[in-house]
Structure 1
Amino acid sequence: MFESTFSETTRRDWTDDGGAGGDADATTRIATVGCGNYARSVSIPAMERGEYAAPTVVVSGDPEKRARLADEFDVTAIGYDEYDAGVASDEYDAVYVATPNRLHLPHVETAAGHGKHVICEKPLEATVERAERLVAACDDAGVRLMTAYRMQTDPVMRRLREFVAAGGIGDLQRASGDFTFPVLGGDAGPDQWRLDGRLAGGGALYDVGVYPLNTARFLAGDDPVAVSATTRSPDPAFDGVDQHVDFRVEFGAASGAGDGDADDIDGAGPVDGGGWVGNFSASFSGHPNTSLELLGSDGRIAVRSAFQPGADREVTVETSEGTVELADAGADETVEEFDYFAHAVATGGDIEPDGSDGLVDMRALAAAQESARTGGRVEL
């Protein structure tokens, strides 16, 4: 099982069947709405490096930034009023929304109104109610929606999911994960949207806590049933948001082997035999760290450098068959993310991290906030 699972850590399984139809060689042209540092330095360059995605339009409220982006990426640059009015809408097929969380809804509604497909950064919005309206807008307009869970497109994570689904570590018993991101590091100061609770919806929980939560869910093929959490914000700079969060997520059943076919991911999922628990943490200060571990009845998976964009994953898999250690494996998951989305749009293929997937996490994050306020366990 080791050899078959980990010998293809760059394989794009989502292109194996050429998609559900259409031209798999077609290019999906993407407009980027919101041009902060992450979009400029990570997302748009990833589109340029991909096979199926192409950046063609950028939307920014800063005229100087528009000029720089137009020159750097050879794209059409417009303002938000022009985007709302449909200017340059014939130059893109889909929209990547990368604005602060509470602005996702209006920008997605605009894209849906123009008949454009959407890939929206996570979490989907600042509140569950607004996220539900966002998903409904795309459903009503008949456009595709992908929640931008780039880790779900990382080939290493996809091979690990196949391994877990095939019973590689037996019944899952617990998971743990951490994402510590010093948000005030470098030149960054306190005047940023991530520290504005209304714009962000939450602090470390919303911004980086969603990574270990969603990635563990993805690997296990399971959804949460209850959440309990505590938050701390000892630094006055984080008065409006959680600086640190620790949250315990209960899942309804242990993920296991199913029929034992590692390729049958659609049929993989929870089996009878009790639940498992995820213990996750996230911080806006401290030494940078991203890690994820899954412990099963018959093995263990540990991933270091688990969530940084473009990082070389360090993976250790231990079972009775032996130990496998992978380093410098996989591919740039941000390139994979946009190619996955663009390929699905062009071919009519499935989008697994869709709006419904994003809503599962929104409800879990809201439950964590409620638990932190009340001190109780919140059922979902």
Structure 2
Amino acid sequence: METAFADYLDDFTRRDWEHLDPKAVTDPVRVAIVGLGWFAREWALPGIARSAFTEATVVTDVDADAVEAVAAEHDVTGVTPAEFRAGAVVDEYDAVYVATPNATHLEYVAAAAEQGKAVLCEKPLEATLDRSRRLVAACRDAGVPLMAGYRMQTDPAVRRLRDLLEAGVAGDVIHVHATMSQTMLGELGSDHDQWRLDSELSGGCALMDLGVYPLNTIRFVLGADPVRVSGRTRTNHEAFADVDEHATYRLEFPGGVDALCSVSQNAQHASRLEVTGTDARLILDPAFYEREDRGFAVVRDGTRVDVDFDQVHQIEEEFAYFGHQLLAEEPFHPNGTHALADVRTLAAIYESAETGRPIALTDDAE
């Protein structure tokens, strides 16, 4: 076990999915960016540029001033949403990244699918389960690949955590705890993300926007899907009157493994994932935010080992994986079917919060 533990910590930031030589890439995947909010401008555009497998060539947004400014700054083509949907510059991109409010994902993904373009869609897929199913169906029917934007799955710290669990370093997993919180209106600024406070656009706030991170990351590292959920949501402040401000939920996995998660859009900043097994605890702290370095620790028999490793640009890793898989003609792990399971689970947690009862999950036909 000691050998396995040491082996997984060597070359910590290795890309275990990469087999194409990034230095040999002469024609990277050309990406059209739909939605120019703060995340796309501050993280996605730099991440695409840093990746050897992708380059940004087209941008669009409902804000014409933002399109003009970003197009000039990054030397790319700017178009209106109507022009994008009509395929005005369809020959200038190979794939589409959708980073608009949740309830508008479907229209842009459907347009990209009709154009025969690969899609990277931010999570959750859409504001409702029905619209998420339609989004996945649009890509499936058009025969275009769809990846959901689960950047945690390409973060080396998360992948090493999964490796150690698979190697048995923690023993039998008993339970998982996760938390993710922020003062949304303070950390991101009062002029950002107001669409998240509109239930029609977001589908919810704390659970949809933050809760999906622990949910999907736990599914990924355990290699399993929850079979039953329960949850509670609450709102204390007028700014969040239309959505959930805080949420707590329990995921029951096969074998009786429980994951207990809490998220909030109006609490002190926190970001932690801890997996407790019979032999060890594996801890990511900080865990989930793109704007903070990840911490990785293993605690066994009273001894804590904090791993020192080179931090990566999370969004570079995500787009590198997206471009690599397209160039290699290989499938994505976080595909549409995988992402639908999260939307289905989030809907069940909301149902549990409304009814006060645990909800059993069933497979989706999609």
Q: Distance in 1 between matches of 2:214 and 2:164?
A: 18
Cα offsets for 1:120-151 (capped at 9, x unmatched)? 00000011111011111111111110000000
Is 1:154 the counterpart of 2:155 in the alignment? Answer: yes
Cα offsets for 1:307-347 (capped at 9, x unmatched)? 11153211111235954212454411210000100111111
1:305 is matched with which residue?
A: 286
Q: Distance in 1 between matches of 2:234 and 2:302?
A: 42
Indicate which of 336, 349, 360 corresponds to 1:368.
349
Gaps of 5+ in 2: 362-366
Matched residue of 1:179: which SS? strand
Letter in 2 for 1:11: R
Q: Distance in 2 between matches of 1:62 and 1:198?
A: 20
Letter in 2 for 1:54: E
Matched residue of 2:124: which SS? coil
Is 1:30 the counterpart of 2:31 in the alignment? Answer: yes
Maintained 8 Å contact 1:312/1:328: no
1:342 is matched with which residue?
A: 323
Letter in 2 for 1:249: L
1:107 is matched with which residue?
A: 108
Maintained 8 Å contact 1:211/1:307: yes
Letter in 1 for 2:203: G
2:172 is matched with which residue?
A: 171
Q: Distance in 2 between matches of 1:212 and 1:318?
A: 21
Is 1:201 the counterpart of 2:231 in the alignment? Answer: no
Cα offsets for 1:270-325 (capped at 9, x unmatched)? xxxx2200100110101111111000111111111101115321111123595421
Is 1:225 the counterpart of 2:227 in the alignment? Answer: yes
1:137 is matched with which residue?
A: 138
Letter in 1 for 2:297: T
TM-score, scaled relative to structure 1: 0.90
Q: Distance in 1 between matches of 2:180 and 2:310?
A: 21
Indicate which of 244, 256, 265 corresponds to 1:275.
256
Q: 1:161 to 1:7 in 2, by over 3 A?
A: same
1:353 is matched with which residue?
A: 334
Letter in 2 for 1:243: E
* Paired residues for 1:74-89 under 5 Å: 74-89=75-90
Deviation at 1:63, TM superposition (A): 1.9
Moved over 6 A (4+): none
Matched residue of 2:184: which SS? coil
Q: Distance in 1 between matches of 2:326 and 2:276?
A: 36
2:61 is matched with which residue?
A: 60
Q: 1:135 to 1:246 in 2, by over 3 A?
A: same
Q: Distance in 2 between matches of 1:169 and 1:193?
A: 41
Letter in 2 for 1:317: V
Maintained 8 Å contact 2:228/2:359: yes
Q: Distance in 2 between matches of 1:103 and 1:134?
A: 11
1:267 is matched with which residue?
A: none
TM-score, scaled relative to structure 2: 0.94
Letter in 1 for 2:256: G
Q: Distance in 2 between matches of 1:298 and 1:339?
A: 35
Letter in 1 for 2:204: G
Maintained 8 Å contact 1:310/1:334: no
Deviation at 1:159, TM superposition (A): 1.4
Matched residue of 2:17: which SS? helix
The answer to which of 37-46 and 183-192 deviates more is 183-192
Q: Distance in 2 between matches of 1:26 and 1:283?
A: 42
Letter in 1 for 2:298: V
Is 1:7 the counterpart of 2:10 in the alignment? Answer: yes
Maintained 8 Å contact 2:31/2:57: yes
Indicate which of 315, 334, 337 corresponds to 2:296.
315
Deviation at 1:58, TM superposition (A): 0.4
Gaps of 5+ in 1: 253-273
Deviation at 1:213, TM superposition (A): 1.0
Maintained 8 Å contact 1:26/1:346: no
Q: 1:106 to 1:68 in 2, by over 3 A?
A: same
Deviation at 1:190, TM superposition (A): 8.7
Matched residue of 2:7: which SS? helix
Maintained 8 Å contact 1:310/1:331: no
1:123 is matched with which residue?
A: 124
Deviation at 1:24, TM superposition (A): 6.1
Please tell me the root mean square deviation across aligned C-alpha atoms, in Å: 1.6
Letter in 1 for 2:350: Q
Q: Distance in 2 between matches of 1:213 and 1:279?
A: 10
